């Protein structure tokens, strides 16, 4: 069994492409003392992302890294790894980061990249997970915090939360209901890491108290 992180304050990077409400929730958990961590840096692949603006307002070092400026994904990720090293990042937190993570990042941070997905994996991987759930007609969906591996939304699962789907739901209502739970399970999962409680056993993550 491999311990993912020894007990101690986490040095996080947040990677975000959009509005950044998961970033908000993690930031607030740190401010309130619920999460033993520091956000060392925020990196976005979108110059106009709200997450980038919010990081600047919070005096968190914030970078826009333009994937279009690099010939290959490996070059983009090498640049990113340079920034992560510079800011002494230990755990990379994908918070609405809409891009597949490649080999360069995975080799630099094995078992140390965490993602949140708005469905109960392995159902409804990829984009528009809430729309996929509605179209399929499931009665329950939810959200998943998991480690990132080379697949899309396939890595070992840390925590999940179930959310009901109602007959009169539209995509916005379901998204909102799931998001409320995302904002709880992300910081809770990270706090378990900070407490040194999470171990990998095959493709399962087990908690040792
Ligand atoms: C969240 O719902 C997150 O689960 C999802 O993007 C949203 C980001 O919102 N992530 C994915 O779909 C990743 N495949 P936020 O920017 O407000 O945190």
Beta strands in 84-149 (DSSP E): 91-94, 113-117, 140-147
Q: Ligand 1, closest atom to CA 20?
A: 16
Cα 172 to Cα 131: distance, rounded to the nearest angstrom: 9
Candidate list 5, 117, 146, 183, residue with the active-site label: 117
Whose tokens are 């890491």? That residue is: 193
Testing ligand 1's pocket by substitution, the residue of 95, 99, 145 carrying the most ligand atoms inside 8 A of its CB is 95
117 among known catalytic residues: yes
Token duo for residue 101 = 């993570």
CA of 1 to the centre of ligand 1 (A): 30
Cα 169 to Cα 185: distance, rounded to the nearest angstrom: 22
Domains of the chain, earliest start first: 2-207 (3.40.50.170)
Nearest-CA residue for atom 6 of ligand 1: 96
Token duo for residue 137 = 């007609």
- CA-nearest of 123, 146, 150 to 134 is 123
Cα 157 to Cα 22: distance, rounded to the nearest angstrom: 18
**198 class by beta-carbon count within 10 Å (0-12 exposed, 13-18 middle, 19+ buried):** buried
Would you state the pLDDT for residue 23?
Answer: 98
Q: Ligand 1, closest atom to CA 116?
A: 4
CA of 25 to the centre of ligand 1 (A): 12
**Any residues with Cβ below 6 Å from ligand 1, and which?**
16, 18-22, 95-96, 116-118, 129, 179, 182
- CA-nearest of 198, 155, 189, 209 to 2 is 198
Backbone angles phi, psi at 125, to 5 degrees: -70, 165
Would you state the pLDDT for residue 13?
Answer: 98
Which residues fall within 8 angstroms of residue 193, CB to CB, at 6 or more apart? 4, 5, 10, 91, 114
Cα 120 to Cα 125: distance, rounded to the nearest angstrom: 9
Backbone angles phi, psi at 36, to 5 degrees: -85, 85
Would you state the pLDDT for residue 209?
Answer: 81
Would you state the pLDDT for residue 107?
Answer: 98
Q: Ligand 1, closest atom to CA 24?
A: 18
Consecutive sets of 10 residues in the chain, 209 residues long: mean pLDDT of each? 96 98 98 98 98 98 98 97 98 97 98 98 98 98 98 97 98 98 98 98 93
């Amino acid at each position: 069994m491999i311990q993912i992180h020894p007990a101690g304050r986490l040095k996080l990077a947040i990677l975000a492409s959009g509005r950044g409400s998961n970033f908000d929730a993690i930031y607030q958990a740190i401010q309130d003392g619920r999460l033993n961590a520091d956000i060392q840096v925020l990196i976005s692949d979108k110059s106009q992302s709200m997450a980038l603006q919010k990081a600047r307002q919070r005096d968190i070092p914030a970078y826009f890294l333009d994937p279009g400026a690099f010939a290959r994904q490996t070059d983009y990720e090498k640049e990113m790894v340079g920034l992560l090293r510079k800011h002494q990042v230990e755990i990379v937190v994908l918070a609405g980061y809409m891009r597949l993570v490649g080999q360069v990042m995975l080799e630099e941070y094995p078992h140390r990249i965490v993602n949140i997905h708005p469905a109960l994996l392995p159902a409804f991987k990829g984009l528009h997970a809430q729309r996929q759930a509605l179209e399929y007609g499931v009665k329950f969906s939810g959200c998943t915090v998991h480690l990132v591996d080379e697949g899309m939304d396939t890595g070992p699962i840390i925590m999940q939360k179930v959310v009901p789907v109602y007959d009169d739901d539209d995509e916005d209502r379901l998204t909102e209901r799931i998001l409320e739970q995302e904002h709880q399970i992300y910081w809770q999962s990270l706090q378990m890491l900070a407490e040194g409680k999470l171990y990998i056993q095959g493709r399962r993550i087990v908690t040792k108290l």
